[in-house]
Amino acid sequence: MKNTNLYTATELGKSLGISARTLRFYETKKLITPIRVGNRRIYNYKDSARMKLILRGKRIGFSLDEIKEFLDLYDADPSQIKQIKLLHERVKQRIDQLAQQKDDIKKTLNELNEIYQTTTEAINNTLIK
């Protein structure tokens, strides 16, 4: 370990809970661009921070393409105004989506609970007989 701030793909992957393959995949998608030493990838602190942002994006349900959009703006626009506005808008959309999903789940749970009760009764009846 020459420098704790530098990681190989496997190392960074481990520290983030993802595979090295995922890191390479994100590279082909141009989400991250680690430097090379020879042909080996070396990730630094910034790469790690960027990956954490990416994973946060995934956690809250954005696709890699959407995440790339945010990052591209972030990279291109130092003032970050455009980036923030896009993020703002997409976050709003996602909130609405999830509210809808939540509602769908609620309805589905009602339907499922009904079925569950029906089957519970049916099973009890066969036991009594």
Which residues lie near DNA (CB under 7 A)?
Answer: 8-11, 18-22, 24-26, 38-41, 58, 63-65
Give yes or no for residue 63 binding a second copy (CB under 8 A): no
Q: Report the partner that residue 116 touches, choosing among a second copy, DNA, none (CB closer than 5 to 8 A by kind).
A: a second copy
Give yes or no for residue 111 binding a second copy (CB under 8 A): yes
User: Is the Cβ of residue 69 or residue 74 nearer to DNA in the bound state?
Assistant: 69
**Axis crossing angle, helix 81-128 with helix 64-76, rounded to the nearest 10:** 160
CB 46, min distance to DNA, A: 17
Q: Report the partner that residue 59 touches, choosing among a second copy, DNA, none (CB closer than 5 to 8 A by kind).
A: a second copy
The single residue listed with the structure tokens 């602190």 is 45
- From CA 92, how far away is CA 24, in angstroms rounded? 31
CB 21, min distance to DNA, A: 4
Tell me the one-letter amino acid at 4: T
Structure tokens at 128: 């009594």
User: Is the Cβ of residue 21 or residue 88 nearer to DNA in the bound state?
Assistant: 21
β-pair partners for 43:
7
Tell me the one-letter amino acid at 88: H
HSE toward the beta carbon, residue 63, CA cutoff 13 A: 3
Strands (E), 1-129: 35-37, 40-42
Residue numbers of the site for a second copy (CB under 8 A)?
A: 56, 59-61, 81, 84-85, 87-88, 91-92, 94-95, 98-99, 101-102, 105-106, 108-109, 111-113, 115-116, 119-120, 122-123, 126
